[in-house]
Structures are given as structure tokens and as C-alpha cells.
A and B are shown apart, each in its own frame.
Chain A
Amino acid sequence: MRSFEFPIEAGHIQEFKRAVGDHDAAFDPDVAAPPTFMVAADRYDPDYDRRLRSDREWPPVAPETGSGFHAGMVFEYHRHPRAGEVLTATVADGEEWTKQGRRGGDLRFREIVTTFVDADGEPCVTARWINVRAANEVRE
């Protein structure tokens, strides 16, 4: 489990909204974060490896060596954060399960749960990242 702060910045929200298709999104200092914006907290995660890092090789591990694929995502909104807030994100392992794939082999699913709370410690958003990989690729 690890925690880090996620400052919700108006300019970052504008950039994100433009990237997901609202190409003319204007700067709004009081804007609410769009539905999937919490995933952009990753840039503040000291352990995040989908970026250039001075302490790791690039590119990151490829799927055939066992890192798997992002299969799905779930957001639960207690409320929608707004620009100007600073949230605290806590990342923890979630549930794991196995399912038979269409090609016969077992698929191993794993959840990574990030809980975002506001400055008062009140829950804001819970995000569940679901990763999948072939069971025979899993290295314990």
C-alpha cells in the first residue's frame, strides 16, 4: 500500500478534457473533474512505471514477459472533485480471480484499488484498475 497527494489543477483538467475529445475545452478555475480524470493521478505516483524514470529501463516490461493488459476500470464517485482541491490517493491490492479465456487457457484478473479522499479525509472517488494476464504467464 502506498499514498501520495494529487493536486487537482484547472489547467490539467483542461488538457485532459481536450485529450478525451472536448477539443475546445476552455480554462475554468472552478471546473469539476471529468469522469475518468482520476487516472491522471498516476503522474504523482512515485511508483508509476509508464513514464521515463531515471531509475528504470525504458520501455517498461512488455506483455509477453508477463505484465498483462489493462482489461477494465471502475470508478465510484462519492462526489466529483473540483479544481483547487488536493486529494490523497492510497493504492492497494484488490481482489484476484481466474476465468477461462476464449482460447481455452485460464486468465488471471487482478484489481488495483486507488481510494481518493479530500482534505477533510472524506471519500471522494474510488478507482479499480483491472489487469489481466494469461495464468501460465504469471510469475509469483
Chain B
Amino acid sequence: MRPEVGAVHRQVVAEGLTRTQLVAYAGASGDFHPFHHDEIYATSHGFDQLFAHGMLTMGITGQALVAVFGDEGLQRYGADFLKPVWPGDTLTTELTVTAVTDDGTVEVGISTTDQHGTQVLRGTAAGRLAAE
């Protein structure tokens, strides 16, 4: 990604999200809320099916940030969870440079959308770009 306002990095970060990945995330994160692995519990509480942790969507989106900022270049990463992410969803993240400061810090807007074009996550991040 070029450190220029308006430059865009677009990345498919999940293709056909599986229930298995939700379970793997529950184990890795320690968040075993039944909304994210127990279909009966989720439907009995008004949802069509179980759905991904917001933090899984944020973690998946983080792959695009690591691609741009490297493993240790991020200074800040914030996100709002706008819509549920369901098993089977394919997610695409778009990072757009919104500012470049004199000290080389690059600020980006973050948008992750599903296969229908619905925005499921919106956020911002800042850091130093990884060397290409």
C-alpha cells in the first residue's frame, strides 16, 4: 500500500466462514458464549442461526492490517461491529488511507463487507507501513 491519502488495500479475509472456525475461535479466545457455537441456544433467543463473535470478525479483519502494517507496525486499531456475521459468509476488507502525518504514521479507514455488500465492521487504524 502506498502511503498516500486515498490509496486502497483490498483483501478477501474469509471465504465461506465455517462453524468449525467459530469453534476454533471460541477455544483460542476463551469466549464460549453459546451464541457462537450452540445453534439451539441461538435460535431459541431469536436469531436465525449461530453467528460469529464480533471479535472474530475483528481478528479476521486484522489479517489485512498485518498485510499492510506488518506484525508490529500497528499503533491503534478500533472497530464497531455493525451486523452479525453468519456461517458461510465471505468477508472482504478494504483499507483506505485517510491521512499521513509528518512522522510517517499512516491512518486508514477500515470497512469489512460480506458477500452481499453489507458492511459488517467499520473501523480505523494507524501505524507505520511494513517495508515492501
Contact = CB atoms under 8 A, between A and B. Distances in A.
Interface of A: 12, 15-16, 18-22, 31-32, 34-36, 39-40, 42-43, 48, 50-52, 59-60, 62-64, 70-77, 79-80, 128, 130
Nearest to A13: B28
A42 B30 CA distance: 6
A112 to B, nearest CB: 13
Contact of B28 (A18, A70, A77): A18
Q: Place the interface of chain B in its size category.
A: 35 or more
Nearest to A12: B28
Contacts of B76: 74-77
Contact of B45 (A36, A42, A62): A62
Contacts of B38: 59
| Residue of A21, A31, A51 most packed against chain B (CB within 10 A) | A21
Interface string B56-99: 10111011011000011011111111000000000000000000
Interface of B: 13-14, 21, 24-25, 27-34, 38, 41, 45-46, 53-56, 58-60, 62-63, 65-66, 71-72, 74-81, 127
A19 B79 contact: no
B28 A21 contact: no
A131 to B, nearest CB: 11
Given A19-B21, A20-B60, A52-B32, A70 B72 contact: no
| Residue of B29, B41, B55, B78 most packed against chain A (CB within 10 A) | B29
A35 B77 contact: yes
Given A72-B78, A79-B72, A19 B63 contact: no
A19 B53 CA distance: 12
A63 B66 CA distance: 33
